[in-house]
Amino acid sequence: MTELASRPFKLDAGALVLRDFEEGDTDGVHAIVGDERVTHWLSFDSRSREEAQAMLDGILDRQNCSPRPEYYLAITESASPEVIIGFARLGLGGVKAADLGYALRPEWQHRGHARTAVSRMIEFAFNDLRLHRLTANIGPANTASMRLVESLGFQREGTIRDHVHTNGAWRDSVSFSLLEGEWPVSR
Ligand SMILES: CC(C)(COP(=O)(O)OP(=O)(O)OC[C@H]1O[C@@H](n2cnc3c(N)ncnc32)[C@H](O)[C@@H]1OP(=O)(O)O)[C@@H](O)C(=O)NCCC(=O)NCCS
């Protein structure tokens, strides 16, 4: 797997920046993973501040692994790099492949920010990491997320039954993929 050495890692995306998480980002992480309006759609339940701190500690540890197993990046506005408005993650695994994940705080949704940030992450995955295949697994009721990936060229592959246990119940995922050569999508 291609290893990009720069630390801290940062991708510019117009009005947004995707950057490595830092010590001190606990409140920013908790603002996302502690908000039920966000975690309702994710593969895990809402987390306390202590759990958010543990999650951040794990992200910071994994940033320093070589080869890097993931790019778990904070999304901020370029003008306010200290205010975390969301996250985007590429979890590397398999042969030239990665799982894509993302979430935005509710106050920053519906402004095109997810499209901007996820597009930049995809560009990085194919152009810099030279990956071949990206997957996104999305809850069947998550219209916003499915709309997002379909608008970026992902194709629906099928249903993964009882894929995650979240909000007290098993939940299917709809699996989407995007292959190198299918990007960039023309709109
Ligand atoms: C999914 C999510 C990241 C979209 O963020 P966003 O910034 O609002 O999305 P954008 O404004 O960039 O819009 C992207 C596309 O999704 C569509 N969309 C956004 N919210 C929508 C909604 N509630 N219903 C239907 N479509 C929606 C937009 O119309 C747009 O499509 P278009 O480009 O064809 O016009 C956001 O809703 C979120 O964080 N949800 C909670 C966490 C989550 O679901 N994460 C993904 C888990 S698989």
Domain coordinates in residue numbering, the chain: 10-132
Say if residue 77's pLDDT is above 60: yes
CATH superfamily ID and name for 10-132: Gcn5-related N-acetyltransferase (GNAT) (3.40.630.30)
Compute the mean pLDDT over every residue in the chain, rounded to the nearest whole number. Answer: 95
- Best mutation site among 109, 166, 186, 187 for ligand 1 pocket (most ligand atoms within 8 Å of CB): 109
- The preferred substitution site among 40, 85, 104, 122 for testing ligand 1, maximizing ligand atoms within 8 Å of CB, is 104
The closest-lying atom of ligand 1 relative to the alpha carbon of residue 42 is 47
Q: Given this model, what pLDDT does residue 2 score?
A: 47
Average of per-residue pLDDT across 117-123: 98
Strands 97-104 and 133-138: parallel
Local structure of 49: helix, strand or coil: helix
pLDDT digits (tens, 9 = 90+) for 129-158: 999 999 999 999 999 999 999 999 999 999
- Cα 16 to the chain's mean position, in Å? 14
Q: What is the residue with the minimal CA distance to atom 45 of ligand 1?
A: 103
